[in-house]
Amino acid sequence: MDTKLKELEKIFGQNRVRLDEPMSAHTTFKIGGKAQYYIDIDKTDDIVKAVKAAKTLDLPFFIFGSGSNIIVADCGIKGLIIKNNCRKFDIAILSGRVKNQKIDVGKALVVAESGVIINQLVRFAIEKGLSGLEYQLGLPGTVGGAVYMNSNFPRKGAYIGDCVFSAKLVTKEGEIKEVDKTYFHFVYDYSVLQETGDIVLSVVFRMTPADTKVLWERGMEALEYRNNSQPKGASAGCTFRNISIVEAISIPTPDRITSAGYLIDKAGFKGKRIGDAMISDRHANFILNMGNARGEDVVELVRLIKDEVFKKFNVKLHLEVKTVGF
């Protein structure tokens, strides 16, 4: 018997860890080979156990949530692959003052585990009349992934990092630490997690009271924009990060537009296809799986795009999606 599987089963129990689990069944791109050791986890304590187990057994590990924003190699992933299903959330603290015999809420702290589906949290906050996350309505993914990427609605300059108050993390070595917002160094499409490899266990969001009707209007504005501008079908989401305003000025782009999709379109890639991997003819920053696309097809499209955009505009595009197993 596989000795490492046996050790993992001692920690998590029989039949919790699966061998050779197809990652294509767990990613929004519907692409990816087999995970060597795969486990579903629904308690944050077990995430910590999994990280420590991987270290003890000298196994690489990878943790993911909804399976968006990743491209998994056709050859699969070696090591322990952790599916984060930790989905508890609630209001932790309400504070305010009594005004006209009613509580006038000044602020609220909402705590959410990292596997919470971001749309569920946004809808909860809106219904409770709490502002801060409403422009994230329609985002794919989980709280952990959204904080990792500092997900945003650029039309309103609304970033998820704006209302992060604090978080509980586990390091790659299995040490737990609590940090405040400043730790993350949030900027566009970035948090320090991308450098440290720390894993989010839970996040505390600081939110303010607002009219539920107004919050729904903001949320629906973001949702409709995403639905109208983004293609339907299997994809990982936006492939590349947008360029900087400095780069947009140097090109120059019309109205200083920073859209990576605009550059890809102007480089002539809309509709281009390798195998079943196709650049969307609706939004050129999306690569779609038209049926049985392979990871290597997607990576080849990415290479061609980067080369041609650099040749045409002298700008380097950087991936927003994460490649795993390549």
Instruction: Report pLDDT for 98.
Output: 46
**Whole-angstrom Cα distance, residue 150 to residue 211?**
25
% of the chain exceeding 70 in pLDDT: 96
- pLDDT at 155 > cutoff 90: no
Same-domain status, 104 and 56: no
CATH label of the domain that carries residue 249: 3.90.78.10
In 100-195, where do the E strands start and end?
102-113, 130-131, 152-153, 158-159, 164-170, 176-180
Same-domain status, 205 and 288: no
8-state DSSP, 50: H
pLDDT in tens, 256-274: 999 999 999 999 999 999 9
Neighbours of 250 (CB within 10 A): 13
Number of domains into which the chain is organized: 3
**Whole-angstrom Cα distance, residue 122 to residue 226?**
15
Domain final residue, candidates 65, 84, 103: 84
Domain final residue, candidates 84, 111, 142: 84
Instruction: Report pLDDT for 83.
Output: 99
What is the span of the domain harbouring residue 255? 232-324
First vs last Cα of the chain: how many Å apart? Answer: 28
Same-domain status, 40 and 80: yes
Name the token pair of 238: 């936006």
Same-domain status, 116 and 215: yes
Same-domain status, 30 and 125: no
CA nearest neighbour of 133 among 177, 91, 195: 91
Same-domain status, 214 and 240: no
Name the token pair of 183: 């730790």
8-state DSSP, 243: P
| Stretch 125-148: mean pLDDT | 96
